[in-house]
Amino acid sequence: MTQTPLDLAHAAMMADEDDDTARLRFYERMADVELYLLLEREPDGDQIEPQVLERDGAQYLLVFDRAQRLAEYAGDAGAYVALSGRNVAAMLEGQPFGLALNLGVAASSILLPDTAVAWLRETLSHQAGEVEARIESLHPPKGLPESLIEAIDAKLATATGMAANAWLVGVTYEGGGRGHLLAFIDAIPRAQDALVRATSEALTFSGIEAGALDVGFFTHTDATVEKLTRVGLRFDLPQMEQLQKTPRMPGSDPDTPPNLR
């Protein structure tokens, strides 16, 4: 099987245990990817009963980043539910479970204790602050680490249909404040919170201090957009021609993870 994003992130983390950036990137991939959670039986509505692995006095839920890997571990008849890593972490709030990732079926096999899952959940729950400021001037972005640019690009590659595109620029505000701005163009209103959260996570998992990057929303008719396109670094978000209506599965709503039995 071709190496998955989690395989690559795990290998980078294990290659240098002192590399904090690689460790953060691994947990970022854990949050973003779809995980297949092994169950005792098929879901009953929004109620699920995961299989529990006991190892050295600790309990773990079994998750895999590919359905084929779950089948290799449990057989083709193994019941499962597919959830984002962030939903798995949210679901385990107040629960004493760690995660057993790809156990025995991939080089990325690892046991993550409940303390690591709690750290991930708390990190993902950080809220960005909201302020109002008037832009005085825009200029090309300078001085940002390449790791942050790559992290933003990776985050926005999963934000299908949320906005037309985004521009990263340097910004000077009235009153003398300076910084960098990630400007989203024609973002759909219900996706704005998710885009702010994605930007905040790109900062956090790159090891950059919070507050190093502002987020703004503009329509293509705003006069500021023409200035953004002259000096900014462009990020294209994937688009889709038409949203498909699909059955709601447990965990499909990121704000309402399934309930454990």
Q: What is the pLDDT of residue 70?
A: 96
Tokens standing for 6?
Answer: 């989690």
Compare 129 and 121 and report the one with higher pLDDT: 121
201-253 residue pLDDT tens = 888 888 765 457 899 999 999 999 999 999 999 999 998 753 343 344 455 45
**If you search the block for the tokens 């340097």, which residue do you land on?**
170
CA distance 97 to 116: 10
Whether the pLDDT of residue 167 is over 50: the answer is yes
Domain ranges in the chain are 5-125, 135-236
- Predicted confidence at residue 246, as pLDDT, reads 37
| 37 has a pLDDT exceeding 70 | yes
Three-class DSSP category at 14: helix
pLDDT tens digit sequence for 42-58: 988 889 999 999 999 99
Residue 231's pLDDT is 96
How far apart CA 81 and CA 68 sit, in angstroms, is: 13
Q: Under CATH, which architecture does the 135-236 domain have?
A: 2-Layer Sandwich (3.30)
21-35, 86-100, 154-168, 203-217 — which is least confidently predicted? 203-217
Q: What is the pLDDT of residue 128?
A: 60
- Compute the C-alpha angle 29/126/202, nearest 5°: 40
Write out the two tokens for 80.
């499962």
Mean pLDDT score of the chain = 87
Instruction: Output the CATH code of domain 5-125.
Output: 3.40.1350.90
**Mean pLDDT, residues 67-95:** 93
**Common-topology check for domains 5-125 and 135-236:** no
Q: Are 180 and 169 in contact (CB under 8 A)?
A: yes
pLDDT surpassing 80 at residue 15: yes
Percent of the chain exceeding pLDDT 90 equals 62
